[in-house]
Each structure stands twice: as structure tokens, then as C-alpha cells.
Amino acid sequence: MSTYRMTIEYDGTKFAGWQFQKNGRSVQEVVEKAMFQIMQVPFRIAGGGRTDAGVHATGQVASFQYPPDLNVKKLEHGMNAVLPEDVGVSALHKTDDDFHARFSAKARRYEYSIASSRAVIGRLFCWTVYRALDFEAMEQAAQLISGEHDFRAFCKTAADAEHYRCIVNFARWSKSERGFLFSIQANRFMHGMVRALVGTMVDIGRGSTRKEEFEAILNSYDRSKAGMSAPAKGLCLKEIIY
């Protein structure tokens, strides 16, 4: 058997997340069904990032195994012909036999988009925050995230989590045409981590939480100390680094 790598883009609005679920539409299930429709054999793919309900991706990666004679162009073109309009395959090729979309990943990069005025076109891909935000205060908070930290204050408790430590390569805010963009790259992410970070930093930008409190919240390991989770629709998995 050979190993294949697929890059997938999707609009997460109508999905319950990446991973297969019994009571919800998942990206994994939709992609596997499309593969079966083309090849008439069952597939099980592994995803590189377990995005939550409503979260988008332009750089999701999946891997699967199949005999070495797979016609990758035929499969890619066929899938894009039968997949629903909110999912697409942007690349598909044979890769190293020991490659695994999840376990081979070195880092993942997410972006979160905020609009500062009403967004009609693109409204499904950003959080509209009408109140003026203090960019400098949010950026100062973001600088404290870089490095290795325990992110229990910014994630949902997971019974199967061995630990909550993540190494953040960078975390920064930038100004965009419509508002603000938060970019973060780390070796791993805890469940709900980026949205909790963004929600807390927006509280700082609004002035409802002092920027001096952010480090204390980070070190509290207490989710109740942090702010609300930002809406899922503003979050996008941009890239998985191998």
C-alpha cells in the first residue's frame, strides 16, 4: 500500500466539524463518501486538524492508503465534480509511506478575522465587532502568548488530554481592509483555544478587561477567568506545516 496526501478547502458554516460524527454533517464523512462514489471502494482518511463546528479551512490536510496504481488526477477531478459546493480538493499526490496527516505535523497555523463594520459579502467568514478596538492593547496581549505555555485558561477541559502545554511559534494582530486579523502558529492547539484567546483579547481591545490582566489570566489555568469564545465563523485553518 502507498500513502497519499490530500489538501482540502471547506466552508465550515454547515458542518459540525471535521471529524466524523453520528449526529452531524462532517467534512471527513463528505470527503470519504465522494471518494467511494468515484472509486467504489471504502476509504478512511486521517485529518491533520480537527476543526470544530463552523470553522473553515483553506489548508486542511488528509492522508490515506491505497495501492500504488491510484490515478490521483482522476480521483481529484472526480471528487471535485461530485463534492458539494462547500468542499473542494486543491491538491492530491502520493507521498512518503510513513506520512500521517496528523502525527507528522510539526505545526498548524490559524487566522481569525474581525470586521469593524457591517460585512455583507464575507459575513460568514468574520466576526463583526462594532465597538472600536484598541489595536495596540490587543497586540501587546498577543505578544505574551508566544513561547511554551499551559493553555488551560483558554480551552475546554479534555478528559483524554495528557497535558495542556503548547509551543506557540508566533501570535500577532494585523490590520486588514475590513478590520483586524489574528494569526497564530503552534505545535498543537487545545479544543477551543484560538477562539478563547481571541474573545479575551477583544475584551481587552474593548477596554472591559485591562491588558495588564492578560498574563495573570494565562497563568491562572482557569477557563472562567478568560473571556467568551469568539464565534467559530471567523476562524480558519490556513496551513499545516510538516
- For 9, phi and psi rounded to 5 degrees? -115, 140
Going by the DSSP 8-state scheme, the letter that residue 41 receives in this structure is S
What Å distances lie between residue 25 and 28, 80, 127, 237, CA to CA? Answer: 9, 18, 23, 18
Query: Quick check: is 52 catalytic?
Result: yes
Q: Are 183 and 239 in contact (CB under 8 A)?
A: no
For the chain, give the longest Cα–Cα distance.
Answer: 59
What Å distances lie between residue 42 and 27, 33, 70, 83, 120, CA to CA? Answer: 16, 8, 14, 16, 40
- For 209, phi and psi rounded to 5 degrees? -130, 130
Among the options 11, 52, 97, 160, which is catalytic? 52
Which ranges constitute the DSSP H helices of the chain?
Answer: 27-39, 72-82, 135-143, 193-206, 214-218
End-to-end alpha-carbon separation of the chain, Å?
22
Q: Are 182 and 176 in contact (CB under 8 A)?
A: no
Q: Is 205 helix (H, G, I), strand (E, B) or coil?
A: helix
As annotated, the active-site residues are 52
